[in-house]
Amino acid sequence: MKVQSGRAPRRGLTTVAVLICLVVVMLISGVLLKIGVAHRDRVRAMERSLQAEWLVQAGLDRAVARLASSANYAGETWVLAPRDLGLTEASGGEPGRAALVSIKIEKPPGAPERRLIKVQADFPPDPPHRARHSAQMLVELGSLKTGGSR
């Protein structure tokens, strides 16, 4: 008769314990990866938002400069290519368009020497990752020609 030792069942138990540890490590790794991807997406959204804010400011500056040279300037749609923003073609969305800045000039009623500048910037111009910002500014045409501040 053979007597079984107590070691045989323990080898199987060790294998199960190792597999459970591997599963736990994989779950932790998956959670850390998910957190990292979410953080990266949040940072990219903040970058797009900041770029849209800068584009709005650039649009306001462009409109002021155009109004200083011509009081009849009515606005424009300013299309920026990826190379204008230092981007590669792939990072700007639709090929040839990295950002879209819409500039509108309005004449407020009863104020012939004033202009209301409205600017809206989209970066990139197409959803789903678009960041959109807008601003407006009221300017005196006389102060633009004499170099006054806005």
Q: What is the DSSP letter of 85?
A: G
Give per-residue pLDDT as tens, 81-100: 988 888 876 554 556 788 99
Beta strands 99-106 and 114-123, pairing class: antiparallel
Name the pTM for this structure.
Answer: 0.74
**pLDDT of 13 higher than 50:** yes
* Cis-peptide, bond into residue 112, ω within 30° of zero: no
Mean pLDDT of the chain: 87
| Separation between Cα atoms, residue 57 and residue 133, nearest integer Å | 10
CA angle (59 as vertex; 76, 118 as ends), nearest 5: 70
Of residues 2 and 47, the one with the higher pLDDT is 47
